[in-house]
Amino acid sequence: MKIQIGTSGFSYEDWRGFFYPEDLPKNQMLAYYGEHFPVVEVNATYYALPSAATFEQMARKVPPDFEFVVKANKDMTHAEEFQPAVFQAFRGALVPLLQRHTLGCVLAQFPWSFRNTPPNQDLLRRFRGEMGGIPTVIEFRNAGWAVPETFELLRELEIGYCCVDEPRLKGLMPRTVVATSPIGYVRFHGRNAAKWWRHEHAYERYNYLYTEEELAEWVPRIRELADETEKVYVFFNNHYEGKAGQNARMMAQLLDLALPLAAG
């Protein structure tokens, strides 16, 4: 399917009673998720370098045509110094997914402090070099990157651009839809402006449930992105209490896409 819809992460305890059955063992969450969505964005890899064995085990729990999008480790995107050894370890961990042809792409999300400067543009070039032929998508957080020159650079590097939906706050990326590689990518973070910068717990930022009207705004934009790319990934990161799964289903209906258990 050209447009794939899923959620950013799946292993959330607070999804019990909202998406997962209350008594579902944690080691069965991915299998259950794979019965409902065709793709997942693996976020745990941001916090800790994954192992090939872990991905081998994960791949065995889902259908053969299921896809994984893997988030780059924080030492690849947030470290003060470029660390080639981390890239090497990360690439090695992806081998089972590459062999099974179940790796959709790698998502590299840079922090708001990563500004649009010549040194950082060069870092993106080094990033591309380290990733080799692995499909890669970049998510910027700082609005300084939202200029035509950025999209030209990404096209030059054959890196996808992550379109985002997030609060309209000064300094954050606008809701710009652009295709810079064969992969289109849209990430929904929610529109909880009040808690974006000021929150006690990180999850509060993503405590937001989109209305059907808000998601409908994106339907023509996602279809346009699909016309310009080979595949589009749409992920919901408003994960608190399973809101991501609820909105992912809603978006699938708006786009007339059938999910595995849509009729169930």
Residue 89 lies in a domain: yes
Cβ pair 259, 34 in contact under 8 A: no
Residue 38 lies in a domain: yes
Q: What is the average pLDDT score of the chain?
A: 94
| Rounded mean pLDDT, 199-215 | 86
Strand 231-236 vs strand 103-109: parallel, antiparallel, or unpaired?
unpaired
- Does 156 score more than 50 pLDDT? yes
**Which are the contacts of 10, defined by CB distance < 8 A and separation ≥ 6?**
29, 30, 33, 40
Residue 262 lies in a domain: no
- Residue 264 pLDDT: 37
Residue 149 lies in a domain: yes
- Residue 263 pLDDT: 36
More confident residue, 5 or 258: 5
Residue 185 lies in a domain: yes
Residue range 169-200, pLDDT digits in tens: 888 999 999 999 999 999 999 998 777 777 77
- Does 112 score more than 60 pLDDT? yes
Residue 57 lies in a domain: yes
The rounded percent of the chain whose pLDDT value lies above 90 is 87
Strand 231-236 vs strand 160-165: parallel, antiparallel, or unpaired?
unpaired
Residue 264 lies in a domain: no
Q: What is the total count of domains within the chain?
A: 1
The CATH number that applies at residue 99 is 3.20.20.410
Residue range 14-64, pLDDT digits in tens: 999 999 999 999 999 999 999 999 999 999 999 999 999 999 999 999 999
- Does 262 score more than 50 pLDDT? no
Cβ neighbourhood burial of 24 (10 Å; 0-12, 13-18, 19+): middle
What is the span of the domain harbouring residue 216?
3-254
**Identity of residue 152:** E
* Distances from the Cα of 237 to the Cα of 25, 105, 118, 209, angstroms: 23, 17, 30, 11
